[in-house]
Amino acid sequence: LLYWAWKWYEPLTGPRKVAGSVFWGVLYGILGLEVWCLLMAPFIDPYAGEPWSRSAFGLRIFTATLIVPVFEELFIRGYLYKAGFQWGEARKTMPGRRALNHVLEAMHIQTVPPGAWSAAALITGTLFFCAGHLMIEWLAAAAYFLLLSILWIRRKEMLSCMVAHGTTNFGLALYVYLTGQWGFW
């Protein structure tokens, strides 16, 4: 599905070098891992939950590192966030529901420049990102989405956000597996 829909997404890289995207993605991913764990810790029992088998760990780390970051970043930041941006812009010239109807009827997310942001975009993206997580993860998910939004705004491209997301998920999987604190995932 991602491959088929690729023509509708923006290029993953931006005006800067790919090596910089990877560097900043890894850096923000490590910072995101720390934010996630710090904000999750008060709400969970880290030693609750079942250990994974080796095959379950392998599958989980593969999907969490390579599939989930691409899908979530393209769908949430690449589509819903941009729809929120367009809705926020339309609300400046149209009253309430008419602005939302306008965006839904004539949505052209490709016209939203990379790195663009607004309060409506941040709120829309954060709400949808949180909706994809468990309720006890909402605070961590909201903070994490906003952290990666800063990266999106600074780098003006999706690749660094995908790398950051993948780095965080990989780091979290390793942390949970090596420490036995299954409650974090």
What would the pLDDT profile of 37-52 be if each residue is shown by its tens digit?
A: 999 999 988 888 788 8
**In this predicted model, what pLDDT tens digit does every residue of 113-163 receive, in sequence order?**
888 999 999 999 999 999 999 999 999 999 999 999 999 999 999 999 999
Q: What is the mean pLDDT of residues 91-109?
A: 67
Q: What is the pTM of this model?
A: 0.86
Return the pLDDT at 21: 93
More confident residue, 96 or 136: 136
Return the pLDDT at 159: 93
Q: Longest C-alpha distance within the chain, in Å?
A: 55
Return the pLDDT at 118: 92
Q: What is the mean pLDDT of residues 17-37?
A: 96
User: Cα–Cα distance between 148 and 54 in angstroms, integer?
Assistant: 30
Q: What is the mean pLDDT of residues 23-44?
A: 96
Q: Please, is 126 exposed, middle or buried when counting C-beta atoms within 10 Å of its C-beta (0-12, 13-18, 19+)?
A: buried
HEC assignment per residue over the chain: CCCHHHHHCCCCCCCCCHHHHHHHHHHHHHHHHHHHHHHHHHHCCCCCCCCCCHHHHHHHHHHHHHHHHHHHHHHHHHHHHHHHHHHHHHHCCCCHHHHHHHHHHCCCHHHCCCCCCCHHHHHHHHHHHHHCCCHHHHHHHHHHHHHHHHHHHHHCCCHHHHHHHHHHHHHHHHHHHHHCCHHHC
Rounded mean pLDDT of the chain? 86
142 near 126, Cβ under 8 Å?
Answer: yes
Return the pLDDT at 32: 98
More confident residue, 76 or 49: 76
Q: What is the mean pLDDT of residues 75-104?
A: 76
| Tokens coding 20 | 């910089």
Return the pLDDT at 96: 67
Return the pLDDT at 169: 97
Q: What is the mean pLDDT of residues 8-22?
A: 77
Return the pLDDT at 103: 62
- List the Cα angle 21/27/31 in 5-degree steps: 135
Give the model's confidence band at 6: pLDDT under 50 very low, under 70 low, under 90 confident, else very high. low
